[in-house]
């Protein structure tokens, strides 16, 4: 019988996966289901912005904060003020405070032209000053009524942009209609963080439980395992419409999927 090799990468739960519940409930669910850590989405909830509170939660539940997701969504434009670089800098400081090694950021919106013009150099400059990796996330075109708008600058696809670190989101690849496995292979060692989810290609960003959509989630996990991936695999699925019991079933299923497929022949 053959043996499998499982790298040391942590499989963590995003606090976004329990929305509309909060950070405390995310830690509680992650600990009970057996996750290895937590990614904190910085949100309007005050505790998500405070290093001291997050460290106490981490110690209480025995789970590290593996990453901080900067408040760069449309819904978090007021968090930490309107200045985009302030959001990035505050996220890096928060990551340093809690011992996280990664900050996830979205590329600039196209109307943030000054920020976009500085973005590539500004990210590189900040990474040179910290041990924290700033991993820019792949996004997708916005579509409505058979029209498509490029909402991000320098673009939603990080493959051709010179970011040193990238977050690959497998729900966003579904929405973009791109080849997720090809994107992973082209990114190579620049792929340092994974948002594990799924999608069916809807115009909406679906964030399904992995295995319930059309994305090559298993193939990407197995490929990463074969490369000895040492970043973090973060389950980021939508459970907003779930009952409490169904939420835990979905998050347990997502964790089981990740454990099963994040392995490679020894």
* Among 260, 257, 255, CA closest to 34: 255
The whole-model pTM stands at: 0.96
> Per residue, what are the HEC states of the chain?
CCCEECCCCEEEEEHHHHCCCCHHHHHHHHHHHCCCEEEEECCCCHHHHCHHHHHHHHHHHCCCEEEEECCCCHHHCCCCCCCHHHHHHHHHHHHHHHCCCEEEECCCECCCHHHHHHHHHHHHHHHCCCCCEEEEECCCCEEECCEEECCECCCCCCCCCCCCCEEEECCHHHHHCCCHHHHHHHHHHHEEEEEECECCCCCCCCCECCCCCCCCHHHHHHHHHHCCCCCEEEECCCCCCCCHHHHHHHHHHHHHHHHHHCCEEC
List of residues 6+ apart from 158 with CB closer than 8 A: 107, 136, 137, 138, 166, 187, 190
Give the pLDDT of residue 178. 95
Give the pLDDT of residue 194. 98
Instruction: Determine the Cα angle at 138 with ends 132 and 141, to 5°.
Output: 150
Give the pLDDT of residue 2. 63
Give the pLDDT of residue 214. 97
Q: pLDDT tens, 107-164?
A: 999 999 999 999 999 999 999 999 999 999 999 998 766 677 789 999 999 998 999 9
Give the pLDDT of residue 4. 78
Assign residue 94 a region (left: φ > 0; alpha: ψ between -120 and 50; beta: otherwise): alpha
Low-confidence ranges of the chain (pLDDT < 50): none
Give the pLDDT of residue 23. 98
Distance from C-alpha of 230 to C-alpha of 34, rounded to nearest angstrom: 19
Assign residue 132 a region (left: φ > 0; alpha: ψ between -120 and 50; beta: otherwise): beta
* Among 138, 140, 163, CA closest to 150: 140
Residue ranges of domains in the chain: 9-258
Distance from C-alpha of 158 to C-alpha of 107, rounded to nearest angstrom: 9
Give the pLDDT of residue 1. 55
CATH topology of domain 9-258: TIM Barrel (3.20.20)
């Amino acid at each position: 019988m053959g043996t499998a090799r499982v790298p040391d990468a942590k499989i963590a739960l995003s606090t976004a996966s329990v929305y509309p519940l909060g950070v405390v409930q995310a830690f509680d669910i992650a600990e009970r289901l057996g996750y290895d850590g937590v990614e904190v989405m910085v949100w309007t909830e005050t505790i998500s912005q405070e290093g001291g509170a997050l460290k106490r939660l981490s110690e209480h539940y025995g789970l590290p904060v593996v990453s901080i997701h900067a408040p760069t969504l449309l819904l978090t434009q007021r968090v930490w003020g309107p200045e985009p670089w302030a959001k990035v800098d505050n996220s890096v400081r928060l990551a340093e405070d809690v011992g996280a090694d990664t900050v996830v950021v979205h590329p600039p919106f196209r109307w943030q032209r000054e920020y976009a013009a500085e973005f590539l150099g500004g990210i590189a400059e900040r990474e040179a000053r910290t041990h924290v990796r700033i991993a820019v996330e792949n996004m997708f075109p916005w579509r409505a009524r058979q029209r498509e708008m490029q909402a991000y600058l320098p673009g939603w696809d990080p493959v051709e942009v010179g970011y040193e670190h990238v977050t690959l989101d497998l729900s966003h690849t579904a929405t973009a209609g791109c080849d997720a496995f090809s994107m992973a292979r082209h990114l190579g060692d620049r792929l340092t963080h994974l948002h594990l989810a799924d999608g069916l290609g809807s115009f909406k960003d679906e964030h399904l439980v992995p295995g319930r959509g059309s994305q090559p989630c298993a193939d990407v996990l197995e490929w990463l395992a074969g490369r000895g991936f040492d970043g973090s695999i973060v389950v980021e699925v939508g459970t907003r419409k779930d009952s409490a019991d169904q939420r835990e079933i979905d998050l347990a299923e997502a964790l089981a999927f990740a454990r099963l497929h994040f392995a490679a022949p020894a």
